[in-house]
């Protein structure tokens, strides 16, 4: 689903990603962990096409198609979803109206007609039930006065509705409270399937108690320096990152 090859990226002439190789197959959940400042958020931003970053080398291939040159919206339309770290508030636009617009824009970009209203309603009902969302929540203004947990719930709802090929969840360094953590984890577990790939970026091992990844990668100084199974997350929790640095030297 995603194949990243020798990816180098810079921001304001500062090299941040220094040769990332990463392959994620459909049906897999990968976690990226690493110390603060190692380039985790940069990687997610570069995959999503954030224009503040310059890709100087390498390729990003989604489902067989190189997407390096595409604008963020085009990538979104092709099925890349990046959770928003700091979602904007849109007073007067409800959670459901926002997602209806997003879905129809995506369909239009892919040459499809608008989703019929009854089908849209059915889908909203299905997904909100799957995620055990309160009906009242759906009519609230987007992100206005949302708690941390509600913001996460909205993000997961967007992901459920959009059914991306590749979902990237980049959690903020400020972290998730236990409520938000459960929402994200339950959502991801319910949404993972054979047709999507999920990349969870976190420096909290705890999240990975709930979302069990197929692979864990360690990002340090812009490179993936170690990869392993879910047990690697526990090893990192226990031993930190210094032993990896020592091993690399
Ligand atoms: P992480 O998510 O692993 O904590 P980031 O990707 O946020 O790391 O940051 C990696 C490095 O790139 C840091 O040194 C950070 O200061 C720098 N960086 C990231 N974004 C910018 C930016 N827009 N301008 C300048 N430096 C940046
Ligand atoms: Mg950081
Ligand atoms: Mg980050």
Tens-place pLDDT, residues 166-184: 999 987 655 677 877 888 8
Pocket test of ligand 1: the residue of 7, 8, 9, 11 to mutate, having most ligand atoms within 8 Å of its CB, is 11
> How sure is the predictor about 229, in pLDDT bands with cuts at 50, 70 and 90?
very high
Q: Is 55 exposed, middle or buried (0-12, 13-18, 19+ CB in 10 A)?
A: middle
pLDDT in tens, 123-160: 999 999 988 888 899 999 988 888 888 888 888 999 99
Q: Which residues line ligand 1 (CB under 6 A)?
A: 11-12, 14, 16, 34, 36-42, 52
Cβ partners under 8 Å of residue 66, min gap 6: 59, 60
Could you give the ipTM of this predicted complex? 0.95
The total number of structural domains in the chain stands at: 1
Q: Residue 137 has what pLDDT? A: 92
Domain of 82, CATH number, reads 3.40.50.300
Q: Residue 172 has what pLDDT? A: 63
Q: Residue 206 has what pLDDT? A: 80
Lowest mean pLDDT among 80-84, 88-92, 99-103, 217-221: 88-92
Q: Give the residue, by CA position, lying nearest to ligand 1 atom 18.
A: 11
Tell me: pLDDT of 85 over 60: no
45 Cα–ligand 3 center, Å: 10
129 Cα–ligand 3 center, Å: 31
- Record the pTM: 0.93
Residue range(s) defining the domain that contains residue 238: 2-248
Q: Residue 175 has what pLDDT? A: 64
> What percent of the chain shows pLDDT beyond 70?
97
């Amino acid at each position: 689903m995603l194949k990243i090859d020798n990816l180098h990226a810079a921001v304001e002439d500062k090299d941040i990603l220094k040769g990332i190789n990463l392959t994620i197959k459909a049906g897999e959940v990968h976690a990226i962990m690493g110390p603060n400042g190692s380039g985790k958020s940069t990687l997610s931003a570069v995959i999503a096409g954030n224009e503040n970053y310059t890709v100087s080398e390498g390729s990003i291939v989604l489902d067989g198609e190189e997407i390096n040159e595409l604008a963020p919206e085009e990538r979104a339309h092709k099925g890349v979803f990046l959770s928003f770290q700091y979602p904007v508030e849109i007073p007067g636009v409800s959670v459901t109206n926002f997602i209806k617009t997003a879905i129809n824009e995506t369909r239009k970009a892919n040459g499809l007609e608008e989703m019929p209203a009854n089908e849209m309603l059915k889908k909203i009902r299905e997904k909100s039930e799957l995620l055990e969302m309160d009906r009242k929540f759906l009519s609230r203004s987007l992100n206005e006065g949302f708690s941390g947990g509600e913001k996460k719930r909205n993000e997961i709802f967007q992901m459920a509705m959009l059914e991306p090929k590749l979902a990237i969840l980049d959690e903020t360094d400020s972290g998730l409270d236990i409520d938000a953590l459960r929402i994200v984890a339950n959502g991801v577990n319910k949404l993972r399937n054979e047709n999507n790939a999920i990349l969870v970026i976190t420096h909290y091992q705890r999240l990975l108690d709930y979302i069990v990844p197929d692979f864990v990668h360690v990002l340090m100084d812009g490179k993936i320096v170690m990869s392993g199974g879910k047990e690697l997350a526990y090893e990192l929790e226990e031993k930190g990152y210094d032993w990896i640095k020592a091993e690399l030297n």
